[in-house]
Structure 1
Amino acid sequence: MAKRLGKRDRNTNITEKFNFRVNEQIRIPEVRLVGENLEEISDIVGQEIEPGTVYPTRRVREWAQQSELDLVEISPNASPPVVKIIDYNKFLYEKKKKEKEIKAKAAKTVIKEIRFGPNTDDHDFEFKVRHARGFLEDGAKVKAYVHFRGRTIVFKDRGELLLLKFLKELEDYGAPEALPKMEGRRMIVMVSPKKKK
């Protein structure tokens, strides 16, 4: 059975971060009670509880105490506010876990590099296009660049045409974040995968 929160727990930084009112912090007279565990709570308190029904806050708080759980306000802007009778520590843990997963997913953007020379032949070009398509289909970004060695820097226009042709070949798989641009001795373009419908 879950342990109810003490006053110290309710004032943690986590509570402030997620901004949920809990137990005695919920001072409005009536609340709408929801949750998947209400049948179980009904058995504990000896009273049938209907999900989505409006109840006096004091009574719902008593049910939470009898169940050794917490009364948590999950939708403060609803009229009346929506609450659940749950284990608040577990609830916060799940929230933090979900937030972490979202951040991790965002951080997992893979960037694959494809390098060309200004004189790349057709066979090599097609080979690299096939690789780029595979990367984009797998959800990775593709950073393609033309590297100019020594005097080949005079062929910037050739490098730009090569990258524009590369983008044309990939238009069904990805979209450029910007037009090709020079960075040092490289002309670079970044291609993001198209979202799957």
Structure 2
Amino acid sequence: MTKDYRVNEEIRAREVRVIDPSGNQIGIMPLREALRLAEERQLDLVEIAPQAKPPVCKLMDYGKYKYEQSKREREARKRQRIINVKEVKLRPSIEEHDFQIKARNAARFLRDGDKVKATIMFRGREIMHTELGHQLLVRLAEQLKDLSIVERQPKLEGKNMVMILAPRPDLHKQEVKQEMEERG
């Protein structure tokens, strides 16, 4: 959550630089006087820069400040999108219908905002024909070019060839816009 500040009697400095709620500097004064000033205005004295010489303290309603901070954090978490990496596994000798099904699944993952890791698995002597796997991955990327960008070009890793597709950033913005319009 938010970082904790020292408030009122928790402050351990002799002198503090005081700032009023609107951000104007009041000046440097003894801690006791700053606490009295805060009490007169029915506010809290909050240490916002303890490492400064003298420490900087601000007059504010600390409860209200903490509430606003937590509200801001909740909003930020709500807007945050966790991107998963979904995997689509293919073989170099895949049939056309199976390829189309894998491509459709990859398209669905991309529309959901997830990245797609397309893997071609070579078995036995198939590794001699890596160009077939490369062609297949290029074909998949070509088929999904409206929905994705190639984040990592096809690359051989051991007995697998891997390519990573990421959803188009502009596509996600369009979907969010459509969703907002639907809600009214």
Q: Cα distance 1:60–1:92, how it changes in 2: closer, same or farther (>3 A)? A: farther
Conserved 8 A contact 2:137-2:163: yes
Report the residue type matching 1:27 in the other structure.
Answer: R
Which structure's residues are more often strand, by fraction?
A: 2
2:97 aligns with 123
TM-score, structure 1 as length reference: 0.60
Residue ranges of structure 2 left out of the alignment (5+ in a row): 1-5, 50-55, 174-184
Conserved 8 A contact 2:87-2:116: yes
Deviations 1:71-130 (A, max 9, x none): 4659xxxxxx9x6613179639946x839x66xx57x32111000000111111111111
Q: Does 1:70 align with 2:45?
A: yes
Report the Cα offset of residue 132 of structure 1: 0.7
2:7 aligns with 5
Q: Cα distance 1:5–1:189, how it changes in 2: closer, same or farther (>3 A)? A: same
1:133 to 89, 107, 113: 107
> For 1:118, what is the secondary structure of its paired residue?
coil
Deviations 1:133-189 (A, max 9, x none): 110111111000100011111120000000001011111111111210011100000
CA distance in 2, matches of 1:115, 1:31: 62
Q: Cα distance 1:169–1:25, how it changes in 2: closer, same or farther (>3 A)? A: farther
2:61 aligns with 86
Q: Cα distance 1:124–1:64, how it changes in 2: closer, same or farther (>3 A)? A: farther
- Give the aligned length: 152
CA distance in 1, matches of 2:144, 2:35: 59
1:112 to 73, 86, 106: 86
Residue ranges of structure 1 left out of the alignment (5+ in a row): 12-22, 35-53, 75-80
Conserved 8 A contact 2:43-2:59: no
2:22 to 33, 37, 40: 33
Conserved 8 A contact 1:73-1:84: no
1:56 aligns with 26
Q: Cα distance 1:176–1:24, how it changes in 2: closer, same or farther (>3 A)? A: farther
Report the Cα offset of residue 5 of structure 1: 1.6
